[in-house]
Structure 1
Amino acid sequence: MIGYVCKYTPFHIIKAFGEEVVRIDPNVKGFDRADTLMHPSICTYAKAVLEECMNSDIHNVILVNCCDSIKRLYDVLRESSYFKFVHLIDVPRKRNRASSLLMKNEIIKLINAIEEFTGKKFDSDKFIDIVNSEHVIKNHKQSNINIAVIGSRVKNSIIRQIEDAGGSVNYNLTCTGNFTRTTTLFKDEDFLLSYSSFLLNSFPCMRMVDNSDRIKVINENLSNIDGIVYHTTKFCDVYSFEYAKLKNIISIPMLKIETDYTEEGSGQMKTRIEAFIETIKTKHNGSEDIQESRIIKNESSNNDVLVAGIDSGSTSTNVVVMNEKRKIVSYSIVRTGAKSKNGAENAMKEALNKIGITIGMLSKIISTGYGRVSIPFADKEITEITCHGKAAYFLNNSVRTIIDIGGQDSKAIKLDDRGNVVDFAMNDKCAAGTGRFLEMMSRTLEVPLNEMGKKSLSWKEDIDITSMCTVFAESEVVSLVAQNKEISDIIHGLNKSVATKTVSLVNRVGKKENYMMTGGVAKNIGVVKCLEEKLQKGIFIPDEPQIVGALGAALIALDNV
């Protein structure tokens, strides 16, 4: 078996030798082996390829010199006794007659290398038959939401998440996408030269000198595309330039995601993708596309319609029970605990006990939050992005930007004049600037979390916490304590760092007044004041900011009933 990573790889040549060929799609949880052989800051995709090969018994690999990280990977593979056959193809960076001749020479080198390794002779007739008989087969789910995936190579799991969320990936223009066309070779021509030209003129990657076709193809097909998911790989900044250009010239919704090619953080990625698809559906339908037929569960003896929204977060689980008059009749806020399912059951039980009803009296239950998929008694799950937008507009229809700082992540959500979500940004997997960050600092400073905001208001010395990493910031705080700095000054510095991180998210979606803040951190008056100072605008705080996500879920439940 011979593995390859790049679509410029002449894998038809490998098939002509009768060898099994597989495109390496890393599916790893970490870089335990790769980190011992490669630098920690090198491209995570290169490390993922190494990890995948060693985990899946791929001993033979063909690489392409697309970047320095892959060249470094080639050096590592070649020096390792684990790998038997390692070959690097020097693909030209232009697409013209001279480049095709250079590519042909590289293919001949590959043929010679495989002949030497396998002891087999290259069968040109078989090769021509393989190329001529191959055609592109799109194997994706069909939906009315057409998504284009562009940027750097993307994992199959991301494609599946898009399709599971209701999108159809009709255009995969990444390194791992299929060829945009097929070709026909003839025995009496210079078929290797024709084949080389075919490879080089497939959809160009960013390594090419002229890669303008990438954006050209998107522009030509905009009428058939509802949204773009732009993928970048950690420690690879090349594609960020293309994203910035697209952002300025493309009017359709676009979601930028970054992965490190591990499966960690897939829950947050699921939220981003589902929220993106929900936003597009809202634009198509004029309201959230969550209508479905169901059997009403209402066992109540009267005609009251009661629904519930449940927001399962990393720190707390919140439930809102609402009647048909859109009035909150009960709510609860409980600690999520070690299992989201248990937290959901406890929160629901507490909310129902307050008004003396059973769960069977609820006509509809919508779940949201990171634990939304783990709530067995919910009828449907909706992302917290959509739910926060729904609730914010309900509470104050002048709000256009929502700042949600929860226990695990921070979000900035932009609304249009009708309360529909038009854009959003979330922090990465780092806990910096979240409720968890403040909770850890609370323990370090030995100040109760609910007292930190008020205590920070008496600050005198303007201290800057320079590190946004939770671990490094904690070390910085310990150092400040050792210098006998006042606790109130340190907390104010922490609040400023949270505000700085949060405003960067707001800037990503574009500042638009008025502002609302939700989530548990909205109860921290110190953070709120720091945010207001940076935004130069007051922020609307709901009476109970922690239940906004659950309130939005309850409102959506009412829309269904």
Structure 2
Amino acid sequence: MIGYVCKYTPSHIINSFGEKAVKISPEVSGFDKAETLMHPNICTYAKAVLEECIDSELRNLVLVNCCDSIKRLYDVAKDSAEFKYVYLIDVPRKRNRASDLMMKNEILKFIRSMEEFTGKKFDEDRFIGLVNGGGKSGRTAKKSDDIRIALMGSRMKDSTLGQIEKAGASVDFDFTCTGNFTRSTVLDKNEDFLLSYASFLLNSFPCMRMVDNSDRIEILSENLKGLDGIIYHTTKFCDAYSFEYAVLKKKVPIPMLKIETDYTKEGEGQVKTRIEAFVETVKSRNAQHVKNHPAGIKDDILVAGIDSGSTSTNVVIMDKNKKVLSYSIVRTGAKSQSGAERAMEEALKKLDIERGRLSKIISTGYGRVSIPFADREITEITCHGKAAYFLNNRVRTVIDIGGQDSKVIRLDDRGKVVDFAMNDKCAAGTGRFIEMMSRTLEVPLDEMGEKSLNWKEDIDITSMCTVFAESEVVSLVAQNKEIADIIHGLNKAVAAKTLSLLNRVGKKGDYMMTGGVAKNVGIVKCLEEKLGDNIFIPKEPQIVGAIGAALAALESI
């Protein structure tokens, strides 16, 4: 087997020598082995490829000079005893007749290298047969209720593609680095078939490494008809694709989702939430308006929504008139399922009923997939948007700061989600951040907000990293700074972090804040000052997600 990473790789040449060409889609948990061979700050994709090769015992690599990180990967692999065969193809960065000739020359050099490695002669007939018989399809099978999307940006993991399809999206076009959108070709042995093949490779959908890649957006635009949305993927620290996304965001009239991954399995939870929320949002836009009270609903219908968060699990029980009859807020604890069972038990006990009385249970939140007694799961994006509009139909922007993540959700005038943004895989600006500072300052969490209102000295916390910010706080304590002033500085830092999320979706009033941090009056006040507007706080901001899940349960009956 010979692994490759780029669509410009002449994989048909590899196969013509009887070797299996394998596109590497890294699925790694970390970079323990890779970081012993590469610098920790190198591109996460390059490290993931190296880690995957070592773990899978894939010892043969064909790379291209697409970027400095892959060239560095080549240097490391070439000098490592772990690998048997490592080759780098110098792909031209332009697409013209001269580039075709240069690419043909690179293919000839690669053929000579493969002949030396395998001990076999290049079989022209077999090669031509493989090219002429190996067409690629641009579409996948579509289920009746799937939305149609295109993938854009940098290379995407197979597991991420699986998450997209599982969420209910059919990938019509894959325009990523190693995607399936390419022009077909037929080679004729009587002509210069290697030159034709070189042109075929170079004239596939151009990646960002090409000097002229302007027709990327043009080709996408030609295929927009029938598409419901675009998912744009970027690799952490790869800025080139982020620039293209910014251009597309302004030009493309259909919904777009930007996801960023570092190729580790640990980030898949947040990516899953973003993908599912995007699919739910697009489906909601496409669906016809549903009546608030479906005909024939029984008078004794009761439903429940469960919001399983990283810190607390909240349950709301609602009747057919959308009246909240009971709710509970409990600590999630070490297991999402246990927290959900305790929260449900408490909410049922307040009404003196059994779980069997509930017609539908819908789960949402961080642990929504771990609740076996829920009938269905929906992302917290959809649930918070639905509940916010239900509680106050003037709200157009929802700010939710929970235990482990922060999100901002934009709504239209019908309460439908039109855009959202979530924080990265980091505790900065979340409830966990405030919790840690509470312990450091030895101030009870529920007193942090009130205490900060008595600030006198305007202190700035320069780092939003939880670890570094804690070091700053310790230093300020050592300088005998007032606790109220330090907390106010922390509140400003959280507000600034939240404002950056707001700017990503566009600020638009009225505003609502949900989640446990909404109970912190100090943070709310700092955020209102930065917004220059008031923020509506629900009576119990922690149960908004559960209310949305309960509303979704009612709508499904």
TM class, shorter-length:
over 0.9
Classify the secondary structure of the residue corresponding to 1:176.
coil
1:189 to 188, 191, 195: 191
* Residue in structure 1 matched with residue 94 of structure 2 by the alignment: 94
Structure 1 unaligned runs (5+)?
none
Q: Which residue of 2 aligns with 1:510?
A: 506
The 1-side partners of 2:73 and 2:220 are apart by: 32
Aligned twin of 2:369: 373
The equivalent of 2:459 in structure 1 is 463
Q: Counterpart of 1:241?
A: 243
Partner of 1:210: 212
* CA positional deviation for 1:141: 4.3
Aligned counterpart, 2:80: 80
| CA offsets 1:397-447 (integer angstroms, 9 cap, x no match) | 000000000001000000000000000000000110000000011111111
* Segment drifting more, 510-519 vs 143-152: 143-152
In 2: Cα distance, 1:555 partner to 1:488 partner: 40
Shift of 1:224: 1.8
Pick from 371, 391, 394 the counterpart of residue 395 of structure 1: 391
* Equivalent in the alignment of 1:308: 304
The aligned residue for residue 177 of structure 2 is 175
- Deviation for aligned residue 1:265: 1.8
After TM superposition, what 4+ stretches of structure 1 lie above 2 angstroms from structure 2?
137-141, 286-289
Give the structure-2-normalised TM-score. 0.97
Which residue in the other structure is 2:269 paired with? 267
1:480 matched residue in structure 2: 476
- Counterpart of 1:175, as a letter, is C
Asked whether the equivalents of residues 141 and 163 of structure 1 are also in contact (C-alpha less than 8 Å), the reply is: no
- 2:486 maps to 490
Match runs of 1:436-451 below 5 Å: 436-451=432-447
Q: Which of 253, 257, 260 is the equivalent residue of 1:258?
A: 260
Q: Of 538, 551, 556, which residue of structure 1 is paired with 2:552? A: 556
- For residue 317 of structure 2, the aligned residue among 318, 321, 334 is 321
Is the 8 Å Cα contact of residues 3 and 21 (structure 1) preserved in structure 2? yes
Q: 1:407 aligns with which of 380, 403, 408?
A: 403
1:323-378 CA deviation, whole Å, 9 max, x = no partner?
A: 11111110000000000000000000000000100000011111100111111111
State yes or no: 1:31 paired with 2:31. Answer: yes
1:281–1:288 Cα contact (<8 Å) kept? no
Equivalent residue number for residue 530 of structure 1: 526
Q: CA deviation at 1:15?
A: 0.8
Q: Residues 243-287 of structure 1: CA distance to partner in whole angstroms, max 9, x if unpaired?
A: 010011111100011000111121111110000000000110045
SS at match of 1:412: strand
TM superposition shift of 1:43: 0.7
Q: Number of residue pairs matched?
A: 552
Q: Secondary structure at the match of 2:266?
A: coil
* 1:146 counterpart SS class: strand
Q: Is the 8 A contact 2:174 2:181 kept in 1?
A: no
1:181-232 deviations in Å (ceiling 9; x for gaps): 2211111111100000000000100000110121011111111211111110
TM-score of the superposed pair, with normalisation by structure 1 = 0.97
- Give the letter for the 2:69 counterpart: S
Q: How does 1:219-238 map to 2 (within 5 A)?
A: 219-238=221-240
**Secondary structure class of the residue paired with 1:136:** coil
What are structure 2's unaligned runs of at least 5 residues?
none
The question of whether the paired residues in 1 share the 8 Å contact of 2:181 and 2:204 is answered with yes
How far apart in 2 are the matches of 1:265 and 1:22? 25
SS at match of 2:341: helix
Is the 1:282–1:288 Cα contact (8 Å) retained in structure 2?
no
> How far does residue 137 in structure 1 lie from its aligned partner after superposition?
3.6
Structure 1 contact 104–193 (Cα < 8 Å) conserved: yes
The separation in 1 between residues aligned to 2:102 and 2:191, in whole angstroms, is 17
Tell me, what secondary structure is at the counterpart of 1:310?
Answer: strand
**1:83 partner SS:** coil
SS at match of 1:547: helix
Aligned equivalents of 2:233, 2:290: Cα separation in 1: 26
Determine if the alignment matches structure 1 residue 55 to structure 2 residue 51: no
Write out aligned runs for 1:278-317 (5 A): 278-287=280-289, 303-317=299-313
Q: Secondary structure at the match of 1:169?
A: strand
Contact 2:139–2:171 (Cα < 8 Å) also in 1: no
The yes-or-no answer on 1:67 pairing with 2:67 is: yes
Q: Letter of the aligned partner of 1:241 in structure 2?
A: F
> Following the alignment from structure 1 to structure 2, what is the Cα–Cα distance between the partners of residues 313 and 179?
40
Q: Tell me how far 1:118 sits from its aligned partner.
A: 1.3
Q: Separation in 2 of the partners of 1:313 and 1:51?
A: 32
What residue number does 2:541 align with?
Answer: 545
Look up the SS of the partner of 2:131 in the other structure. helix
SS in 2 for 1:366: strand
Give the 3-state SS of the residue equivalent to 1:223 in structure 2: coil
Name the SS of the counterpart of 2:75 in structure 1: helix
Cα distance in 1 for partners of 2:545, 2:537 equals 14
Q: Distance in 1 between matches of 2:172 and 2:55?
A: 31
Corresponding residue SS for 2:8: coil
1:179 offset after TM fit, Å? 4.0
Which whole-Å CA distance do the structure 2 matches of 1:367 and 1:4 have between them? 41
Q: RMSD value over aligned CA atoms?
A: 1.5
SS of equivalent to 1:265? helix
Alignment pair present for 1:45 and 2:52: no
Name 1:104's counterpart in structure 2: 104
Matched, 1:123 2:123: yes
**Mapped contact 1:134–1:182 kept (Cα < 8 A):** no
Instruction: Say if 1:496 and 1:439 are closer, same or farther in 2 by CA, change over 3 A.
Output: same
Question: What's the offset of the Cα at 1:36?
Answer: 1.3
Residue identity (%): 74
Q: Secondary structure at the residue paired with 2:407? A: strand
